Structure 1
Amino acid sequence: MSWMPRLAALLLAAVLGSAVFAQGAAAPPEATVAELRSRLDAMPASVESNAEVRDLLARLNAIGAEADKFVASRTTQLNDLNARLGELGNPPAAGAPPEDPDITRQRAALLKERNALDADIRLARLITVDAQQRGSDLLAKRRKLFEAQLTERAPSPLGRQFWFDISDAWPADVERLASLGEELRAGLDTALEPAHRMSVLASLAAALLLALLGNWAAEHGLVRLAARVLPAGRLRRSLLVIAVVGVNVVLIALAAQGVFATLDRHGILGPQIRKLGQAVVQSIIFIAFVVGLGRALLSNRRPSWRLPPIPNSMARRLAPFPWLTALIAVLVWVPSQINAIVDASFAAVVTTHVVTALALTALIGTMLLRLHEPAGALPADAAGTEGVEPPAAEPERPLWISFLLSAVALAVIVIWVLVAIGYVALASFLANQLTWTGIVASAFYLLFKFADDLFMATVASKSDLGQKLQKSFGFAPRTLDQAAVALSGLARVALFFYMLIALATPLGTSPGEVFQRSGQFGTGFKIGEFQLVPGAIFTAVAVLAVGFIVLRVFKKWLEARYLPETALEPGMQSSITTLLGYVGGIVVIAVAMSALGIGIERIAWVASALSVGIGFGLQAIVQNFISGLILLAEQPVKVGDWVVLGTTEGDVRRINVRATEIQLADRSTLIVPNSEFITKTVRNMTLTNAEGRLLIRLPMPLFTDAKRTRELMLSACADHGGVLVAPAPSVTLEGIENGMLIFQAIAFVQSPRLAGGVRSDVLFTMLERFKEAGLPLAAPTGVVSQSEPPASPAPAPPTPPLTQ
């Protein structure tokens, strides 16, 4: 995973370099509280146009940012002063001995400085609150202005009034454009002067080299760097696509900002041209992003990079559309910016709305037609192009994609109808919003893929980090795969949240206001009586992940290092580890719920509500859970014990929350509810003594040599390696039953699990030695031995005489 820090450092250096280049100069000195308040008070109380709202909102945001920066810098100083005052201590109480005058003077000076600094911080925070409040009011006014403009009906382009209005306003609009043209010519003349010519030409040449050659070199360099440092797989593909798009935007931004800074430094830009130039720079950056995103998603030159599951034929049909989108965006954007700068007539604004709506819907409609073209409709020279497969049938589209394309086609028709009936502002807005929706969806699709590939390549069991986690913490492969899927899902949910904010912004908001609105959502939103804070949700998830990892490490340390050094039995060690795992899990969940904002009183309310369900149908589950805790605490049955429960006996392998696993002699596993061990009689063969006992009872004839039999039985027990020397084996003569001598041998083995096998071996040995010694066993009652002749029947007793 050494490639991650290097790539992060590379991207960070590129971003920092672009920021330094864009600034072009050192940061201005920090403003004071009085200056910030005076700037805020100087803001106009009312605005009339949308442009004025946008400008005023930007100034308010700048004041709020400076106030926050002031508070952050002064808070550190305030903490230092409080620490120094704490070192000096409190003033002596009345009647106490006086302290050193130097300490008194220092305390007084520090208190004065601390109070002044605290007052400045409070005033700066008040300025931040006032700026946010005024910004919210401006946004509300802007939305009202925008909604009023949208609902305003203008002359239809299909009627004569629309063209009459353009004809009437044409002379005045030409005069307004003349001033802009004169300013542009004056700037061009200034740029061609010998004192400025070389700098301007050099900046233009450098911008072209950076935008064209720089992009080409950066893309090829990133490909080679990715092949060298990134592991093969999906993450290399998605990360490389994001890196290419990001570097493309950064280089274009550097080129545009460099040219603008050069022109501005040489005084070439006039007031109107400067505003237009700033807008042009922002537009160029946006266009670079759209073109780079489209090329990255289609990846016609490198089909293996393509993230969307689209065939090559469709990707080739859509190849021109990123560039067309950029071109049409310029064509519909430049007139609107010029209208705002020169304060064009209402007829010019209406015409701009019509052109915007028709141009964007024409682009979208053409794209829909290309999507519906059959796979065989390729250019004539496509069959001979290297890397292009012959025409083939495209896979059937999912149903939801067909519905989506139909909805887009319906939206295009609605926009055309709105233009025809005169609602050109609404039509223009819908066309812009439809285009913006497609761009936002494409960008977030790329981020969705990257999030999934990132966690699958770093957390999943087959990844390098996943294998290290398996070795270090003992995580099961399935657990890591589930964690990778869960983390990927959480990341996608977070991205989807911000995508909805970008798509569902109020009418008339700009992309910059999207981030401001997302920050407002970051403070939380209320659903019923519960306050949902996105930051708290992610904090709770992080607490859960880190808490369970720490708990896993602690349990592994107990099992491998600490508990083996104690005098506890293995079963007791396993029970302690399991019990601590349950307690630690409850603590981690409680801390995570606290981080989520769910207090103890809410948990108690949930528990009381849950008790109703317990009373109806969860008694058995709760009973088994409590029984499991009792088993782990009192230790009547431990892991490793040999237990007999009814007709079942076997080894206790695991005690879970609800049930206990018992391994039987046939290697099968019996799942027994924990309540069975608490409410029923259980025989624990190894509770106090882990040794097993084997017992052999043999019937012998009455004429058997008892002493010889006892010696043979003892020798058979002593000669077996599994029989313990102490306690020593013993043979007793229990008595005579049914005309037979009953001998009983008792021996001990290390575990009850060995008793059955050892008993069989000893019994085989005894029978063999009895046969060698000529000691017969007694035949069972009713069985006649075939080796001896049958006994003659006894004479019948005489019949007693009959008495009268």
Structure 2
Amino acid sequence: MLFVFLVAHAGLFASGTALAAAPTVAAESSPQARIEQASRAIEAVQRAVNDADAPETLKTLAERASQAQRDAEASVVALQPELNQLDARIEQLGPAPEAGEEPDIARQRKLLDQQRSQIDADIKRGKLLAEEAKQANESIEKTRAQQFGEQLGRKVGSPLSPALWREFAEHLPDDYNRFHSLYRQASTALLKAVGKEGWGVPLLGASLALLMLFPLRIWLRHLGRRYAASERAPAGRLRRTGLAVWLLLVGTLLPGLAAKVLVTSLQAIDAIAPRLESVANTFVIATFVAAFIGAVAACLLVPSRPTWRLLDIDDVAAARLRRFAWGAASLTWLTMLLREVNRAARTSAVGTVTLDGLIALTYVVLIMSMLATLAGLHRRRAAEAARLEQEDTNSGRTPRAPRSGWLIVARLGGYLSISAALVATLLGYLNFAMFVAQQMVWGSVIVLATTLLTRFADDFALWLLAPDSAVGRMLRLSTGLSASRLEQAGVLLSATSRLALVMLGVTAFVAPFGNVSALYNWLERLSAGIKIGGSVLTPGSIFSAVLVLALGLALMQVVQRWLVDTYLPKTELDIGARNSISTVAHYLGIVLAALWALAALGIGFEKVALLASALSVGIGFGLQAITQNFVSGLILLAERPVKIGDWIKIGDQEGDIRRISVRSTEIQVGDRSTLIVPNSELITKTIRNMTMANALGRIQVQFSVPLGTNVGQLRSLLLGIYAANESVLIDPAPSFFIDSISGGQVAVNSFAYVSSARNVYGTRSDVLFALLEQSAAAGIALVTPTDIHLVRDPEQ
């Protein structure tokens, strides 16, 4: 749509002459030749700028200055590598010795010095020329802005002034004669060309134009509607927005191309008089513009198909606004053509003023009619909102707030614009009135077109990268991306497209205020790169860096998946070692991908090291805890004092290690909750690892028996219980000890071992169950702590 926007701007706000093609400097074989060409172009611009007063001339000069600036800057960029190569060769020769050197080396040194001096002078000259061209362009733009302001503020006769109409009547016969002379030139050129070449080419061009304008255009519109209604069309909003964009393209391009074919057929036989060439070009541009305005309204309003309508308006407003849109398109087409014919006929100034006044008043009437339609729509929407609010209040629901904000903004802006245009017209500021009225129409068209295109870009991006779409399924199967990642990519693509379209719309809207090429020159300078320190960041390098980073991360994921799923399971490493290797490989891959992306940006490793050293102080103070945990995590993964699957005790908490990352460690405690411990805690504090190095679990059973108990029988009984339990290990063998004899009791202490500390609690419980049962059966009394009760004698 960039072509449509630029054509529309040229037609609506140009003085009517054809757009002057920006002269381009021919590509020369060497940068020095391009510098010389840029120098001549700048000198020509500086000589011509003092005598230039027409806006078209100033625009052409500004474009020439911009082109000269681009050529000079490109030459400087092309010469810089040659200068660097010469510096490297001179550096290899080293300093000239005081005692003299060999003649061959001396001649080579002299030649290199001469070449370097010449290239250095060319680079400096190119930079100077680029700065001169920039200053010349800025000066021209200031002049153009000043002329534009003076033109808008120029006061002429008011349409209500009788003196204006008397003067118009006085010049009317002369203006009529000028129009008649222009008509005679047009008819003479046409009859002469037809007499020489015949009617074949013009009739063929007219036939093709009619074919494109009616049968082909109608068939393509019908084809688009039929496809949008079929099952092959994408589901969702894309079906409607895609059809609207198709109708916009068909409705804009075919009428404009038909006009172009007709004019080309006449130009092929030289049937257009020289003074009418600009009129013919304006005819093509005006047709494109009018078709664009009508197509935007048609694809958004759709009066006959409310279900396909993209604007939130009712049928009555849609039908009326559609008629007003066609009226605006016709008025724009007629205005552009009449003003250009008036300029080609070289009519009097009062004739031009009168024409501009009538056009401005016509625009005012048209915009007032549109505002009346919007006012009626607003009233109907307000009445509907009041009815819904009453129903919600009666039913006890929360009242629904009406959404008519865009109507209020549109009406307010329309009233302000139309008031300014009407007052300016009546006071005689016709240029300002024409500008305001045309800018109101053009701004509305730009807003509607931008809204449509942004909706389409949003729908298309989300549909293209949807997880269930054909492209989405292919990406998921080929790259392993998750559905959420695809949706994120779709949202980013949508945001980028919407931003580009909004910038394009803003460019088209502000084009009447100045030179459009100034905006594009800024974009070209931005594309040339932004210098940050010693590096130049360009959009291409940024795109390459993002692409390299994405490829690096994808490659890292493939390598990590191969390690985890294919290679590491074939090794004899335990699960903790596998996790350590895969985690280190993961973060190492991220670091390598980041360094690769920085290299694609033009930031070398030495600059990264310099940046890291500059940030080390800030990292040491501001990110001390994060850095400490990060380094501790690397130590844990490398030294492995604890690993995944270990049972550790830290403080009063104990549990199994489930995951070790570079910042924290996740421990699953007994109630199945997860304890997240910073890695620095595992490095700096005392940790009990109860399963490290395949540690055994030890069972300790302590109890007391009366002094007269057969201790040998008790020893055999307890050791037999140990031997009968499958979880108790034979080696190391269970043991039985008498801990102490005191207070008429024998304190017994015994130990046994199991294969893991995790089995201690359950095995100890089984041993105690068996001890209670077998000691009771053998008549061995187990002594419990003595309870002493003081009983008071009631007789005392």
When normalised by structure 2's length, the TM-score is 0.73
Aligned residue in 1 for 2:579: 574
1:743 to 746, 750, 757: 750
- Three-state SS of the structure 2 residue aligned to 1:644 is strand
1:748 Cα offset (Å): 0.7
Structure 1 CA distance for aligned equivalents of residues 504 and 335 of structure 2: 27
Aligned residue in 2 for 1:795: none
Matched, 1:778 2:782: yes
Aligned residue in 2 for 1:197: 199
Structure 2 CA distance for aligned equivalents of residues 664 and 470 of structure 1: 37
For structure 1, which segment, 29-38 or 205-214, has the greater mean C-alpha deviation from structure 2 after superposition?
29-38
Paired residues of 2:697 and 2:755 also in contact (CA < 8 A): yes
Matched, 1:499 2:505: yes
Matched, 1:296 2:303: no
Matched, 1:337 2:337: no
Aligned residue in 2 for 1:676: 681
Matches within 5 A, 1:426-465: 426-461=432-467, 463=469, 465=471
1:370 to 369, 373, 382: 373
Paired residues of 1:579 and 1:632 also in contact (CA < 8 A): yes
Structure 2 CA distance for aligned equivalents of residues 625 and 294 of structure 1: 60
Matches within 5 A, 1:231-630: 231-310=234-313, 314-374=317-377, 396-399=402-405, 402-461=408-467, 463=469, 465-466=471-472, 475=481, 477-505=483-511, 507-509=513-515, 515-516=520-521, 518-520=523-525, 522=527, 545=550, 548-566=553-571, 568-582=573-587, 585=590, 614=622, 620-621=625-626, 623-630=628-635
- Three-state SS of the structure 2 residue aligned to 1:449 is helix
Structure 2 CA distance for aligned equivalents of residues 309 and 597 of structure 1: 50
Structure 2 CA distance for aligned equivalents of residues 575 and 306 of structure 1: 59
Structure 1 CA distance for aligned equivalents of residues 283 and 193 of structure 2: 18
**Closer, same or farther: CA 517–281 of 1 in aligned 2, 3 Å:** farther
1:733 Cα offset (Å): 0.7
Q: Which amino acid aligns with 2:425?
A: V
Structure 1 CA distance for aligned equivalents of residues 696 and 347 of structure 2: 103
Deviations 1:493-534 (Å, cap 9, x if unpaired)? 344344334334572435x66545543555578999999977
Matches within 5 A, 1:752-771: 752-753=757-758, 756=761, 762-763=766-767, 766=770, 770=774
**Closer, same or farther: CA 692–327 of 1 in aligned 2, 3 Å:** farther
1:214 Cα offset (Å): 1.6
Paired residues of 1:307 and 1:449 also in contact (CA < 8 A): no
1:205 Cα offset (Å): 1.7
1:716 to 706, 709, 725: 725
1:571 Cα offset (Å): 2.6
**Closer, same or farther: CA 777–422 of 1 in aligned 2, 3 Å:** farther
Structure 2 CA distance for aligned equivalents of residues 537 and 372 of structure 1: 49
State the Cα RMSD in Å. 5.2
Paired residues of 1:416 and 1:427 also in contact (CA < 8 A): yes
**Closer, same or farther: CA 670–271 of 1 in aligned 2, 3 Å:** same
Matched, 1:666 2:671: yes
Paired residues of 2:704 and 2:784 also in contact (CA < 8 A): no
Structure 2 CA distance for aligned equivalents of residues 405 and 375 of structure 1: 9
1:209 to 196, 208, 211: 211
1:221 to 219, 223, 232: 223
- Three-state SS of the structure 2 residue aligned to 1:349 is helix
Structure 1 CA distance for aligned equivalents of residues 591 and 358 of structure 2: 63
Structure 2 CA distance for aligned equivalents of residues 342 and 187 of structure 1: 16
Q: Which amino acid aligns with 2:159?
A: P
Structure 2 CA distance for aligned equivalents of residues 406 and 579 of structure 1: 62
1:216 Cα offset (Å): 2.4
**Closer, same or farther: CA 459–132 of 1 in aligned 2, 3 Å:** same
Greater RCO structure (CA 8 Å; 6+ sep): 2
Structure 2 CA distance for aligned equivalents of residues 377 and 154 of structure 1: 42
Aligned residue in 2 for 1:172: 174
Aligned residue in 1 for 2:716: 707
**Closer, same or farther: CA 190–218 of 1 in aligned 2, 3 Å:** farther
Paired residues of 2:658 and 2:666 also in contact (CA < 8 A): yes
Structure 1 CA distance for aligned equivalents of residues 510 and 646 of structure 2: 63
Aligned residue in 2 for 1:154: 156
Deviations 1:331-390 (Å, cap 9, x if unpaired)? 222222223333333223323432343333333332222122148979xxxxxxxxxxxx
Structure 1 CA distance for aligned equivalents of residues 694 and 571 of structure 2: 19
**Closer, same or farther: CA 170–476 of 1 in aligned 2, 3 Å:** same
Paired residues of 2:303 and 2:322 also in contact (CA < 8 A): yes
**Closer, same or farther: CA 590–528 of 1 in aligned 2, 3 Å:** closer
> Alignment identity in percent?
30
When normalised by structure 1's length, the TM-score is 0.72
Q: Which amino acid aligns with 1:416?
A: L
**Closer, same or farther: CA 148–316 of 1 in aligned 2, 3 Å:** same
Unaligned runs of 5+ in 2: 1-23, 94-100, 105-117, 382-398, 789-796
1:178 Cα offset (Å): 2.4
- Three-state SS of the structure 2 residue aligned to 1:713 is helix
- Three-state SS of the structure 1 residue aligned to 2:749 is strand
Paired residues of 2:378 and 2:407 also in contact (CA < 8 A): no
Paired residues of 1:332 and 1:352 also in contact (CA < 8 A): no
1:413 Cα offset (Å): 1.0
Aligned residue in 1 for 2:7: none
Unaligned runs of 5+ in 1: 1-27, 97-115, 379-392, 785-804
Q: Greater helix percent: which structure?
A: 2
Matched, 1:646 2:651: yes
For structure 1, which segment, 268-277 or 632-641, has the greater mean C-alpha deviation from structure 2 after superposition?
632-641
Structure 1 CA distance for aligned equivalents of residues 175 and 596 of structure 2: 66
Structure 2 CA distance for aligned equivalents of residues 479 and 166 of structure 1: 70
Matched, 1:49 2:54: yes
Structure 1 CA distance for aligned equivalents of residues 664 and 208 of structure 2: 74
Q: Which amino acid aligns with 2:502?
A: F
For structure 1, which segment, 625-634 or 30-39, has the greater mean C-alpha deviation from structure 2 after superposition?
30-39
Q: Which amino acid aligns with 2:749?
A: I
- Three-state SS of the structure 2 residue aligned to 1:730 is coil
Q: Which amino acid aligns with 2:172?
A: W
- Three-state SS of the structure 2 residue aligned to 1:653 is strand
Structure 2 CA distance for aligned equivalents of residues 403 and 376 of structure 1: 15
Matches within 5 A, 1:793-804: none
